Amino acid sequence: MKMNYLKSLMASVIIAAVSFNTVNAQDKVNVKESTIKWEGEKLTGSHDGVIQMKEGFFLMDGGDLVGGEFIVDMTTIEVTDLEGDGKAKLEGHLNSDDFFGTETHNDAKFTINTVAKKGDTYGVSGEMTIKGKTNPIAFDLNMVNGKASTEFKIDRTKYDIRYGSGSFFDNLGDKTIYDEFTLMIEMQY
């Protein structure tokens, strides 16, 4: 009887270990083959650029997305629509405390909390941390053949980035910078 109990217990431990491993399978993001583009708009035009992902992974269960976490290196923010002094000036301003304060806040992080599958698309919700402030955010994520892509907007004022915001300052005129900026992300995993 003791032998049957031990066999049953051992089988339960093995099944639990196998189940745990499939639920917690991590697919690491290939950060060198992934891109994050951004676009910020103001009353008189827009600027765009890129920023580098530091690390990230998708948590998978039997091939389906169930979670994940991604860290972006904020010190890599780059402007791609300007050159020379204009480029350097804007990059310096984006790194300053007026915007992302990268000297103090080197990283931004997104953690997936819940996922709803819709074919090859997932409705994803989670928490975004920028400049030490964390807020909920939701968007659709397409995942096909080891590639994930999404495009969504972030309200910068929720992260204490208020410079030039018409929501907080009066009489900005054509110096008004819109509160939302767009991220366009393509990841290889």
> For the residues 55-64, what does the mean pLDDT come to?
95
Q: Are 100 and 91 in contact (CB under 8 A)?
A: no
Going by C-alpha positions, the residue among 180, 72, 53, 55 that lies closest to residue 128 is 72
pLDDT of residue 120: 79
Residue 9 lies in a domain: no
Type of residue found at 95: N
Pairing mode of beta strands 45-61, 25-28: antiparallel
- Give the C-alpha separation, 75 to 85, whole Å: 19
More confident residue, 77 or 7: 77
Residue 5 lies in a domain: no
Domain count for the chain, please give it: 1
Residue 16 lies in a domain: no
- Give the count of beta carbons closer than 10 Å to the beta carbon of residue 108: 22
Say if residue 41 is exposed, middle or buried (CB neighbours under 10 Å; 0-12, 13-18, 19+): middle
Residue 166 has pLDDT above 90, yes or no: yes
* Mean pLDDT of all residues belonging to the chain: 90
H or E element, residue 95? helix 84-95
> For the residues 74-101, what does the mean pLDDT come to?
98
Residue 90 has pLDDT above 70, yes or no: yes
Going by C-alpha positions, the residue among 111, 113, 161 that lies closest to residue 133 is 161
Residue 2 lies in a domain: no
Residue 12 lies in a domain: no
Residue 126 lies in a domain: yes
C-alpha to C-alpha distances, 63 to 89, 112, 139, nearest whole angstrom: 45, 16, 20
pLDDT of residue 17: 43
Residue 9 has pLDDT above 60, yes or no: no
pLDDT of residue 15: 44
Confidence of residue 13 (pLDDT cuts 50, 70, 90): very low
pLDDT of residue 170: 92
Both tokens of 98, joined, read 């007026």
Structural domain range at position 66: 26-188
C-alpha to C-alpha distances, 76 to 91, 122, 167, nearest whole angstrom: 9, 28, 28
- Give the C-alpha separation, 56 to 189, whole Å: 9
Residue 55 lies in a domain: yes
How many residues appear in the chain?
189
Residue 181 lies in a domain: yes
> Tens digit of pLDDT for each residue in 139-153?
999 999 999 999 999
User: The domain that contains 50 carries what CATH number?
Assistant: 2.40.128.110
Residue 133 has pLDDT above 70, yes or no: yes
pLDDT of residue 41: 98
Confidence of residue 162 (pLDDT cuts 50, 70, 90): very high
> Tens digit of pLDDT for each residue in 15-58?
444 444 445 689 999 999 999 999 999 999 999 999 999 999 99
